[in-house]
Structure 1
Amino acid sequence: MSSTELVKFAGVQKTYDGSTLVVRDLNLDIQAGEFLSLLGPSGSGKTTTLMMLAGFESPTAGEIFLAGKPITKTPPHKRNFGMVFQNYALFPHMSVADNVAYPLTVRKVPKSERETKVKRALDMVHLGPMGDRFPGQLSGGQQQRVALARALVFNPQLVLMDEPLGALDKQLREHMQIELKELHRKLGLTFVYVTHDQSEALTMSDRVAVFHDGAIQQIDVVTKLYETPVNRFVAGFVGDNTVFNGVVTATTDTRCDVKLSCGALLSGLNVNGAVSSSPVQACIRPERIAVHLGSAKPGENSLEVTVIDVIYFGDHLRLLCSLPGQVEATVKIPLSAHAIPQAGQSVWLHLPPEHLRIYL
């Protein structure tokens, strides 16, 4: 991935009613050639950010730069960006080839050159033989490929995608994720991708910016985002998360001890600078928890729980466990586990302190 900055948001804000900020003081650098996903729930500001970059919305304050030059007042058709939407936005009365050629026609590219570029773009998305068909004759996945070819055909500086796979079924969506990632690798273009699906963002992206309440909570490479969330929101929104509520009893430079309502003590990483007596959440990824079926406590940072249910997920088993005064705890164990606990059974959960993160 290149380290050359292509896009810069500097102090960008957006309000529609003059009082509520949909995007709050956004400072974001997008590197040339990277696949950046904007991830967050509905209303978090991610789509508004994409629309401001595309030029369909104007910032209330701040500036957006492209290759060092301000583009806030540049109209969308002069930004040379490819766009892919969830609803495809194909012209039903035009053939696939004509749909893909449309951006070239608007740019007055000569016909012979148009045909070459359209063929190359359709081949790129594995639709070479389907240029004469109409959108209504294609499946949802094929229509999405046409929309993608249309976004790529004029060699844009930037490709912007707004939940482009949201209308596809799960299997096709996962297949298209891999295809998009491979296409990005081959072309070396800069992709900015909006999604509310955290597994999609983790699968495809070089970096992910997690939005909440109009602000970026964390922007990072996917492994760091998953393994080291910086606050409660990111820990809960990105990936599965098992949470225990408690109160801090002691702290060191990087660690703190937490007492749960049932009296159990846990030690973990003090992420947000919690101090003694602070109410906190102790969070851990469910796959990091070790299950012990014996009656003896397997060392420190262990909790005795009751298994409520064992759920088969195809590639793993998920245990739902109860502990007095806490919400149900989720644990993931591999199908190859030597012993599988049963519902109603008491087991010990060991929570490695290096993977237990304590949040204010």
Structure 2
Amino acid sequence: MSTPPLVRFAGVQKTYDGMQLVVRQLDLDIQRGEFLSLLGPSGSGKTTTLMMLAGFESPTSGEIFLDGKPITHTPPHKRNFGMVFQNYALFPHLTVGQNVAYPLTVRKVPKDEQARRVHKALDMVRLAGMTDRLPARLSGGQQQRVALARALVFEPELVLMDEPLGALDKQLREHMQIELKELHHQLGVTFVYVTHDQSEALTMSDRVAVFNEGFIQQLADVESLYEHPANRFVAGFVGDSTVLRGTLQGDAIVLPGGARLAGVNVNGCAEGATVEACIRPERIAVHPPGPQEGNHLPATVSRVIYHGDHLRLLCDVGSGQREASVKLPLTREDERRHPHEGDAVTLKFTTAANRIYAI
């Protein structure tokens, strides 16, 4: 018997102008203790979904449940959720300790208990000893940790985060991703995290809901999402892909130049339909020119991009196709042997790696 979800969206819709639906018929269960990311481009409905859960927006129709009880009309301050925003929203005139204690002050928690909890929360985010500093004296990463400590200090059962790392530089953002995931493991609190960064979602999440045009396109664990995208949008939005356009014949895509490449017909496209095949760059092997067994495609290397631990090859495969992208791991022994611009090669990949989608 499955465990009841902590949060349930049932038939939720949202429109701001009475005409265009920003969120369409949303049915979503959020499990207790999971790290769920809402991922999608701007305007896809992910932030609106988070704001409805927080209580800052109201659904136009449908119901939101917490522990089986409707909260659609419960004001934000009575939902007892922790919130972390991109802009930190710290009080500049209050010290770090006073900022973190603020939710406890509002809840009239005794002073000695406040001090204990503030110390514990700051210790969790590795800011012990900074209680008396003002936010202006902290770095962006430290300010974000204060905002996180403030969201956790009153021990909420749900923490909502809206692009909380968006203002940080790349290296710090990646460091904070690992720390957030570790904190989630330690606390066992349910995290709901909004981002447009697919790498961030894959790094931290237990499950990801991919939004586009107000719908959840796919809801899955990170490995399933990356390895088995449900449709062409998810395949293009989550991770990189080499994309080939052609016609479906049996279980294969036939390119305009005549190449026949067996694959997985993900959306059950009809025979003769115009389709696109998506192959992850790291699933493509590079061989010397000439015929190969199985799926193979003659190509010419047009660009070689050095990434330190790997090379990115951009290859011309002809037939009016976009350049194929190939990711090659790089070791010292490989440096002299890797393909160069202008080289003729054969690209090879398995049937399972060649996923064919409706367009």
- Superposed pair shares fold, TM > 0.5: yes
Corresponding residue number in structure 1 for 2:220: 220
Q: Please give the alpha-carbon distance, in whole angstroms, between the structure 1 residues aligned to 2:140 and 2:354.
A: 42
Q: Please give the alpha-carbon distance, in whole angstroms, between the structure 1 residues aligned to 2:169 and 2:249.
A: 48
Residue identity in the other structure for 1:28: L
Superposition deviation, residue 157 in structure 1? 1.2
Aligned residues: 353
Matches within 5 A, 1:67-216: 67-216=67-216
- Where structure 2 has 5 or more consecutive residues not aligned to the other structure, the ranges are none
Q: Please give the alpha-carbon distance, in whole angstroms, between the structure 1 residues aligned to 2:338 and 2:163.
A: 39
Corresponding residue number in structure 1 for 2:292: 298
Q: Does 1:261 align with 2:256?
A: yes
Q: Please give the alpha-carbon distance, in whole angstroms, between the structure 1 residues aligned to 2:188 and 2:286.
A: 44
Provide Cα deviations, 1:117-157, integer angstroms capped at 9, x if missing partner. 11110011010100000000000000000000000000001
Task: Give the alignment's TM-score, normalised by structure 1.
Answer: 0.97
Q: Please give the alpha-carbon distance, in whole angstroms, between the structure 2 residues aligned to 1:323 and 1:269.
A: 21
Q: Does 1:348 align with 2:343?
A: no
* Runs of 4+ residues deviating >2 angstroms: 336-339
Bigger Cα displacement from structure 2, 296-305 vs 158-167: 296-305
Q: Does 1:42 align with 2:42?
A: yes
Superposition deviation, residue 4 in structure 1? 4.2
Q: Please give the alpha-carbon distance, in whole angstroms, between the structure 1 residues aligned to 2:220 and 2:253.
A: 28
Provide Cα deviations, 1:13-32, integer angstroms capped at 9, x if missing partner. 00000000000000000000
Residue identity in the other structure for 2:67: A
Q: Please give the alpha-carbon distance, in whole angstroms, between the structure 2 residues aligned to 1:202 and 1:167.
A: 19
Corresponding residue number in structure 2 for 1:253: none
Q: Please give the alpha-carbon distance, in whole angstroms, between the structure 2 residues aligned to 1:212 and 1:315.
A: 33
SS at match of 1:37: strand
Q: Please give the alpha-carbon distance, in whole angstroms, between the structure 1 residues aligned to 2:30 and 2:237.
A: 22
Superposition deviation, residue 3 in structure 1? 4.3
Q: Please give the alpha-carbon distance, in whole angstroms, between the structure 1 residues aligned to 2:185 and 2:9.
A: 25
Query: Among the aligned pairs, what percent are the same residue?
Result: 70
Task: Give the alignment's TM-score, normalised by structure 2.
Answer: 0.97
Q: Please give the alpha-carbon distance, in whole angstroms, between the structure 2 residues aligned to 1:314 and 1:170.
A: 17
Q: Please give the alpha-carbon distance, in whole angstroms, between the structure 2 residues aligned to 1:297 and 1:24.
A: 49
Corresponding residue number in structure 1 for 2:355: 357
Corresponding residue number in structure 1 for 2:325: 330
Residue identity in the other structure for 1:320: L
Superposition deviation, residue 296 in structure 1? 2.2
Residue identity in the other structure for 1:84: V
Corresponding residue number in structure 2 for 1:282: 277
SS at match of 1:310: strand
Superposition deviation, residue 262 in structure 1? 1.3
SS at match of 1:49: helix
Q: Please give the alpha-carbon distance, in whole angstroms, between the structure 2 residues aligned to 1:262 and 1:122.
A: 62
Residue identity in the other structure for 2:323: E
Q: Please give the alpha-carbon distance, in whole angstroms, between the structure 2 residues aligned to 1:258 and 1:127.
A: 56
Superposition deviation, residue 261 in structure 1? 1.1
Q: Please give the alpha-carbon distance, in whole angstroms, between the structure 1 residues aligned to 2:76 and 2:309.
A: 45
Residue identity in the other structure for 1:71: I
Superposition deviation, residue 275 in structure 1? 1.7
Superposition deviation, residue 188 in structure 1? 0.3
Q: Please give the alpha-carbon distance, in whole angstroms, between the structure 2 residues aligned to 1:94 and 1:15.
A: 38
Corresponding residue number in structure 2 for 1:310: 304
Q: Does 1:273 align with 2:262?
A: no
Q: Please give the alpha-carbon distance, in whole angstroms, between the structure 2 residues aligned to 1:156 and 1:248.
A: 51
- Where structure 1 has 5 or more consecutive residues not aligned to the other structure, the ranges are 251-255
Q: Please give the alpha-carbon distance, in whole angstroms, between the structure 2 residues aligned to 1:116 and 1:168.
A: 30
Superposition deviation, residue 300 in structure 1? 2.3
Pick aligned residue for 2:313 from 292, 316, 319:
319
Residue identity in the other structure for 1:281: E
| Aligned-residue CA RMSD (Å) | 1.0
Q: Please give the alpha-carbon distance, in whole angstroms, between the structure 2 residues aligned to 1:55 and 1:176.
A: 27
Q: Please give the alpha-carbon distance, in whole angstroms, between the structure 1 residues aligned to 2:354 and 2:252.
A: 11
SS at match of 1:5: coil
